[in-house]
Amino acid sequence: KPSAISIPEDSKLKDTTWYLSGNRFYQKGDLEKAIRCYNKAININPKKVQAIFGKAIIFSKIDKNKEALEECDRCLDIAPFEENYLVFKAKLLVKIHKFEEAIDTFDRVLKVNPLNSVAEKYKIKLGTHMLRWKKIEKEKDMEAELIIKDKDVEEFTKRKDADVEKKENIRK
């Protein structure tokens, strides 16, 4: 959808101006222009962590989770103890089903701030979820074994029937 905001053309603008322009485009729903503004901010200042994080949020929103995770890791390279980046990364890891890694990341959050209730709640939910997941996987494995055994029995029965048929044909 068209936006009333335009991308500034002055190449001498500060990184903060580009970052704020990116935020405005993001709020208007123009994610492509938001990313372009964030990229300009990052080109001016490669450590403009807010712009990098803005890109991570957009990538997550459009289900480009690999890219979102990469941008989030860039943020954590610059600010390794920033709770918001850690929580965001852990939630991304949950989204892509990397549960153990998510728990480790929530543990990092809790080392930074033991009172972070979001990390604590997610970690508890993840632990419960992982137990269920493992139980389901175990049940699937057991079911697969039964299917294999059933197929073995079926195959054995077919061979046995074929052998009986051969013997009957020989007798005739």
Of 136 and 59, the structure prediction assigns the larger pLDDT to 59
Give the SS3 label for residue 172. coil
**Confidence category of residue 167, pLDDT binned at 50, 70, 90:** low
25 pLDDT higher than 60: yes
Whole-number percent of the chain with pLDDT over 70: 73
- Which of the pair, 158 or 28, is modelled with greater confidence? 28
Amino acid at 142: M
Mean pLDDT score, 80-107: 94
- pLDDT band at 77, cuts 50/70/90? very high
Could you give the residue ranges of the DSSP H alpha helices within 29-98?
31-44, 49-61, 65-78, 83-95
Question: Residue 53 corresponds to which tokens in the numbers above?
Answer: 């994080």
